[in-house]
Structure 1
Amino acid sequence: PLGGLEFALVRILERLREEGCEVFSFGASFGGEMGTSPNASEAAVRALAELRDAGVFGGGNYQFKNKFRPENQTLYLVQPEGEAASEVSDVILMIADPATPATAVVPAPKDPATPATAAAPAPEEPAPDRAPRAAQLAAHGHNPVRLPHVAVELDLVTDSWADRADPWQRERRQALAELADAAGVTGEEPPAVSWLPFAHRFFAASGRTAEDRLCRAWPGPRGRVLHGSAFPTWLAALVEHGFDPSTALPVAGEGPFAADLDLAALEDALDRHAGDVSFVLVEPAANAHGGAPSSLENLRGVAERTRARDVPLVLDATRLLDNAVLVAGAEPGRPGRDPWEVAAEMLGLAQ
């Protein structure tokens, strides 16, 4: 029940006090922001902000503990000036779960060479032991989807960087962070660029985070959302924040633009649910339609119909550049168009 955890903690504290205990620790809260530092590392600040944005760390845990008026002690990550620093996530993981010290490997003694002895053929590699894998599957209800990413050699369940932890991702993130630092791209707002025609822009650690942030901050009523078979994470965010995503629009495209929405069906749905539609959601090159692109003409038609009824149009731009490249190469009458120009026009149709 609501407040049950607080009630239990108060009773625990009362019992400990009666038993003569003078100290009770709530443990560490990582990632919360208590203040600012004049000489903070921009890379570390950005890394912590990305973790909070992804829901890995945040202020909720810290706020909950403060209900009981504890004495807080701040932890500082300190690094020598000018030296390479460990990643923030690695430091936090080290604090939370220190690794077991590696055992030194003792080299095997070398036998003296015997010229007269012929080298024995190398033994054949034994077949891989399937028992550990079978045990892993059994421990997770024989459902491969429930296996943690780190327990799988080749994970094809998702390509989302927010859900993976491959070594090459860390290297790529580090390289991108260095490029961002060199270009002065810091803070929560991306720089102004010609192909992103919006007054307000925010970084997000993942598409799922961006979807949740939009749904949570939506200023209008929480009604019906018309969409072209939105990605499952969209559906979860919409339902969680009180929207109704039960109306999926059919496609009616042909040829290279097979994912074009059926404009007649869109019109019918807008009229049928007039006054109850919060927004229309379009995702170019969506997984649900095999990654097929949407044409500019079709997207213009969607925007024309939503604007005529004063219904906002939300564009999920996860694969916008893929869509723009395909449009630039197949748009009738305008071959060889600059994909960035196409992307800017597509984004400009959202409202």
Structure 2
Amino acid sequence: MTRVIKTTRNRTASMGAALLALGAGAALLGASCDLSFRCRGPGCPEPITGTCPWHCAETVWDGTSSSVEGFSNADVFAVWVGSPREAPDCESSNYFHARDYYQEPKSIDRCPRCVAEPRTEELYESVTLRKGGHCGDDTYAGAPVVGAFVVPAGWDGSCVSQRSDVFPAPEDVDFAMASGESAAWDCRASLSLEDVDALWGKVVRTCRRFWHLDQDCEDIDALCIPEMAPGFRECLEYRGDDELQACPRSHPELVQAHIDVSGCTRCETNGISASTERKWMLTFYADEQCTQPMPSIDTWGDGRCIDLPPGASPRSVSATLTVESLAECVPRGGEQEGELGPGDLVSFCCRPPA
């Protein structure tokens, strides 16, 4: 099995404010991996010294060595519960937004308005380094990943030098690939904050992220996730077929919430006239401070696959985003089509003890 090891190379200069809000700045700024999860079951493994750039999520356990039906350690949310007007952004907490749920219905007398706005950004989740292929031919598809830069969620393109590499770390790489949220959706749909605040006492904001190259947490059947920002808690999603009767002992706190306002059409958006035209340009550097740029070729012309010169060993990366035009976005939905009321109440996740 390929073992992932961490090389502590990190600099995310202009993300300072977001990382301070995260409360995980120490982890993202080179701290060692915290694998001190609270395993309570029989035969729990010893914490291992590893390379997860963040930490291992709480593992599910219910007093026996058997698996817990309806729960998987891979289904972890970061969950925040509170006033809609105070809901934090997932990306500032180093996560990606999943969806919102709602609690404490007020007077449900209208459908929340649907808002549409153009997306300017493209959210990169990773920049991987590969060996044994090139972007310009079919060899790129099967080339193994030998490392990756740990970019923050909502990366603004500032210098990043924290890397996780396979063991043994490669002396050189052939090309790099960037992956992330698809740019196919040029418009973002959301509910009017004013209306949500008028209809609900609390919003349950759910966010997701995990480190795709981790194998240390995986070895102990856990998921490598960013540290919880202030106000956020881990929550294990329930995926069982039957109604949840009780949460497992490792995650005893049940979170229930309404999906939406019933009787309203779904909030959606569609771009018209023209799509958003944007382009990322990745630059790799021979040093950790992004001061010694390396020659490279953006083979696909869209900032996603970059061929590097022979013997290249990039130590940091930055990105530049150019937005040439924005889509015209029109909201659709948010109209009454039936009797209004709180939508379905779902038992969607369980939290470990505070």
**Could you tell me the TM-score, scaled by structure 1's length?**
0.21
By percentage of residues, which structure has more helix?
Answer: 1
The structure, 1 or 2, with the larger RCO (C-alpha pairs under 8 Å, 6+ apart) is 2
Decide which structure has greater strand share: 2
